[in-house]
Structure 1
């Protein structure tokens, strides 16, 4: 690393105060695990971590420029990075250029706009959902937002409680959240999936915005949605708390999408196999597709049955199986050799994100492969108590799979 670059980072870090460091850490949460950020007490340490994550470096200064712009340190932007407010505003208008998410920009803007009296009101109203120790007098609004995220009170696609809190005394900020949500919906509605073939073989689909052939989805029900959900194990320490919420979420979504949905609980190994085989032999001639979810502990190439033993605190590592025929899509909660995480209170990070995205994007005729890609992006951004999770898609689909939403 060049001496000049190190000097630049040193001079910028020396000019930052504690509140500004907190803001920079908040903006970096999509790229650095929460546990790592919590241990940082000096801007120089933050810059070291951002270099390790390849977010800043020699010849790669845009994220640093954006961070300084977001915290209104235009003086540092100008003096040390040769940029200006006007230049940053022009660059940030370029689609995909901004590295700080709209969600974090929104929360930071709200934190800036709240008066000290407002912050105390927010803390008072959160004394039920949050522990009192997390709402101390000196806790900043960004720290409160972070605790709300940790406890899943707010997240990028669900700001309902924050809106309810602000409605009573800062309706103007509630309207800011409404505008953010409207912009997010508009973004999804504008996005088009680009495929090399531009004409559908189905005349009734000619008006669709997507490019490429589309699988026929005209039957009711469209097919079976089979859920195998292992909750209770002989060793009670291995019980998968939160998995009932996953089952309910999947049943809600697929019943809405007109699937015949059935859930089997706590199956032993042979029974898992027999159940899947039973559904494979059913008459599917008047159906469009088949969906199967398996929720359990596991190891590479194995699923844990409900009489199993062994110490596991997280869910399955995926099998490396690749489908050997066309028209199959497999979505896995995590890539090989990594773990997937489940909240005992709200369910699996992956399944809950999947269900939320399907409810949001299916009405906008986004195909399943792109929905799963959006789920991958959402899950990869989350911080699971210092750990990260990266889902995986394996597909031999030949057409777009678009779920018909009942009118």
Structure 2
């Protein structure tokens, strides 16, 4: 019976115990809570809790190494005794944080369903008599099923809960406050949206000071990259303004060679723009990023090629197609990937994962040998949110600092690669629905500002790091820190375009 010690087997046994402990109503609750995480077809075919768990495991949302989603679901369902029996309470981190994958919208609907009695449900069905077909309002229909039907008929979604406020507010006025509270939260979320397959953390408390301060993080980035500037000027990382009085003696600064940018054409810029997903949230605002990238890279002399809403197979095929083109007369190649992501890769619209290694492998082709291959990745690398950190004046000696670990297969092994990530490992990336993402917009802005000054790409990315690190959402609780990873052997300096930068 030694196999019982296997962690995978133990975890499967745990999932079986969960199924055995839950009733039919609990299964419906699970399916409803996970309806944003799996496809409608998978929901219809899931007749048991283990069917649902299998789907979540296939999508890498549930595993022996990360049972946090199971803990979250059971916590929402108030299965506290079962959590203790399974030992899942030990999965909560030291500060009591549970990182949330179930959306605030789905959580609102579930809370409402738990607060409505049978008598009130009858009244709600009567109020919906002119909105839904009569057969959808049968006696056996639960409130959660009503919510599903309202969603199918396009009367209800995360950005439109007016029908809930109208109907439930009339039947049960006390619950209207909860709906109004959600609408106020959504009003804030239209400014900020998480760039991940998951949803926001339930905790909004700042991290402890045992972390990087922003200034120290920027200093570490500069030291790690070891960047140099054009001899005629140095870039002030704090302000982005040319500083004529550099403290570094130019004569002591070694000259770092540059990649040649003298080809017949600059090269191809491929943009993979994933907006609509089968089982993840729509990436509202991504088209703004796409337009900005298209304008900037065309200005830089690239042939821009955009692919919209690619699943995993299509993403790999597009990269293979890009590699198969003749790049002999090109200076370099650029690939921008705008999508949902996780710690070691990015997602296609079908939820299939493409690792960072799979992204770069096709471009190790002969016509791109010793030419820079530049990736700009706008995607989350985890579910944690970065919080503001305020250093304490007299605690410097007590503070501990540690670099975030980089996953093995996300580090380029071949020479001449750059992967400019929108965030550090394990953390989310932020997107304004009406303005685009912090990272891509900062990238485009600084390319327009600094390429005409002859600034090299890694220094531009350091300025992007600085700009994004200084941004904060309206609540003052969310931050972001981009991270370039590279095996470049020379400086990347784009020729100064002859035309003015796009507006």
TM (norm. structure 1) is 0.49
Q: Which structure has the bigger radius of gyration?
A: 2
**RCO comparison, higher one (Cα < 8 Å, 6+):** 2
TM (norm. structure 2) is 0.41
